[in-house]
Structure 1
């Protein structure tokens, strides 16, 4: 491992730091001074808190970093796992007397999973699997969208596997189009989780199909579209939702869009005041994953086509706070269209290659 790939100077802006965090795929960056001294750390949690404060993405990482990082001296390497478990962190730098980073120890993945694999054991998980998948035609003329393989595994099975890492066992699949193929697939699968099928007589949308779950779910639950993969800490998402007391929390991806031209800014007289070359704008995008309280089901109309953003908008208009849990741009993969599906396959294959 090249430690330099995990270092970042304090002058770098927050947007660029998020990109570097994604690229490093280790979940942490170490902020260093011009003399290469450790002065802080950056994790997705630090970025998330900044985004939720509506912070400026052009500010330097010095404004968002943890200025009191946990570290070990070079003679204390053997206590790394113990310290990480005690402090609930996944990485710890090893430094010398000059605060230069000599090495980085990471918590063993199996230990990490073992600590989290009970988080969702009592949490229902609803996966919207009833859509026609028209944007993926002609693939969906043969297979329902949930069974389209990403690599050698159907997308819906990959979604379920992600939840299972956190102890998820209680799944509800809303089905309609080619529902018998979906049922047949899971009937043949050797699995350690339970699937309940929620059958639509007609397309009801991502919100309308939830109305069929009234009386069946009486606790906080997750909802996921069947064409997305979220690389995030599901325990942290649930904890954020509970601590804030939201009825609905939307998992949202930071998305950067660059304008490929020089952009003019005008003054009050209509004259050019400033030229910004190829500016980058940052937005929060709905990923299609939610955490929802059971009473929300009572606010969804029955037998009517209705999407989940509709209930979000109704709550906002009536003054009910709706939560958001930001994740990085690379933590969200979508296969809603053929071009996006191919990109997802490529990302998954590269990740699995790097893990082997």
Structure 2
């Protein structure tokens, strides 16, 4: 446990836009903000999970912090040290915090502790042939295509290492020797071990090839995405919600190229919407799985992630979704790679 006495970086106002709340949470070492009024009095708290759950209820990025804050947070009181420690010890969260307030409700300090995300291992799925990229993957596997001056796989591994995950497995199949050579030459921050798929194992089958000791909680990441998603936030959200599996999802917008007719059940015209846009939550290629889920993967056949998730849900395991509002792109086609390279150049300039 530590005591945080510099309060200003941890606070926001009720009218702060949720987009700014998420930006500050992603840039902070902590996964919470304290909401105060104009006098500095505590009126609520927001965790990363609170903000993302609000999106699932339809709250938007330009809504205010008041739309997603906890209005009756647990607090401690100045000069009640023993009681504060007792309350803090009762908080069951990976990133536990307890604001300490004075008689006027003004924040004096915050008690805080964080569990080590390093308990997680990660599996990067890098075995696919990348056929939709055509000639680009004829002689080079998709995870080794460059965005900026580094391969996609290097960006992913660096992101995992920055989250404190130092036991990483990479499943390979197509042009496996190139990926293995890249990992061997890379300056890895932890252990990065290659798992060879002698046959294509699907998007979840390689979990069965991980050593038993590593098949606890596993963060599975596809090797064809570029993202700034906060892996530590996913882990915290997963535990706070009591999930057995958590699926990261990203907004995907589709525009219908025609006018869409609205009508009653008996065929009476009600109106027409010209080329409407529809928003869906798409699986983002990032999954956090409990041991109960990894134990369901058969050792002798291929399995895709939807089959595994549906199987777990059918036997009563709890599956949740984690909305990503940080940068994310799936590199499936040549124009996706071009967009990722352009985005990377722009981010380097800023």
Q: TM-score, normalised by structure 2?
A: 0.70
Taking a change above 3 Å as real, the CA distance of residues 211 and 41 of structure 1, as seen in their structure-2 partners, is: closer
- CA separation of 1:264/1:64 partners in 2, compared to 1, >3 Å: closer, same or farther? farther
1:344 alignment partner in structure 2? 340
Establish whether residue 231 from structure 1 lines up as the match of residue 228 from structure 2: yes
The 3-state SS of whatever aligns with 2:261 is: strand
Aligned to 1:353: 349
Q: Which residue of 1 aligns with 2:168?
A: 171
Match of residue 52 from structure 2: 48
Provide Cα deviations, 1:53-108, integer angstroms capped at 9, x if missing partner: x337699658725598xxxxxxxxxxxxxxxxx989xxxxxxxxxxxxxxxxxxxx
Determine if contact 1:231/1:331 at 8 Å carries over to the other structure.
yes
Indicate how the Cα distance of structure 1 residues 293 and 261 shifts in structure 2: closer, same or farther if over 3 A, else same.
same
Match for residue 251 of structure 1 among 248, 253, 265:
248
Work out whether residues 214 and 297 of structure 1, in 8 Å CA contact, stay in contact via their aligned partners in 2: no
Find the residue that maps to 1:242 and give its secondary structure.
Answer: helix
C-alpha contact 1:248 1:293 (8 A) present in aligned 2? yes
In structure 2, the CA distance between the partners of 1:251 and 1:339, relative to structure 1 (3 Å rule), is same
From 186, 189, 203, give the equivalent of 1:189. Answer: 186
- Residue 299 (structure 1) aligned with residue 296 (structure 2): yes
- Any stretches of 5+ residues in structure 1 without a counterpart? 1-9, 11-16, 29-38, 69-85, 89-114
Question: Which of 161, 175, 189 is 2:158 aligned to?
Answer: 161
Deviation of the 1:342 alpha carbon: 1.0
Q: Does 1:64 align with 2:61?
A: no
| Cα distance in 1 for residues equivalent to 2:209 and 2:70 | 49
Runs of 5+ in structure 2 lacking a partner? 1-14, 27-42, 72-95, 99-112
Structure 1 residue 225: Cα displacement: 0.4
Cα deviation, residue 315, structure 1: 2.4
Residue of structure 2 in register with 1:91 after alignment? none
> Over residues 191-223 of structure 1, what are the superposed CA-to-partner deviations in whole Å (9 max), with x where a residue is unaligned?
322111111111111111111125142421200
Name the counterpart of 2:203.
206
Displacement of 1:143 in angstroms is 1.1
- Alignment correspondent of 2:6: none
3-state DSSP class of the match of 1:287?
strand
- Is 1:152 the equivalent of 2:121? no
Q: Which of 297, 308, 311 is the aligned partner of 2:308?
A: 311
**2:310 & 2:251 partners in 1: Cα distance?**
20
| Structure 1 position 307, deviation (Å) | 0.7
Q: Is the 8 A contact 2:293 2:312 kept in 1?
A: no
Displacement, 1:296? Answer: 1.9
Separation in structure 2 between the aligned mates of residue 144 and residue 335 of structure 1, nearest angstrom: 12
How many positions carry a matched residue from both structures? 287
Separation (CA, whole Å) in 1 of partners of 2:187 and 2:97: 37
Do the aligned residues in 1 keep the contact of 2:141 with 2:174 (CA within 8 Å)?
Answer: yes
8 Å Cα contact 1:264-1:274 kept in structure 2: yes
Aligned Cα root-mean-square deviation (Å): 3.7
Are the aligned partners of 2:48 and 2:233 in contact in 1 as well (CA < 8 Å)? Answer: no
Tell me: CA distance 1:269–1:41, structure 2 relative to 1, closer, same or farther (3 Å).
Answer: farther
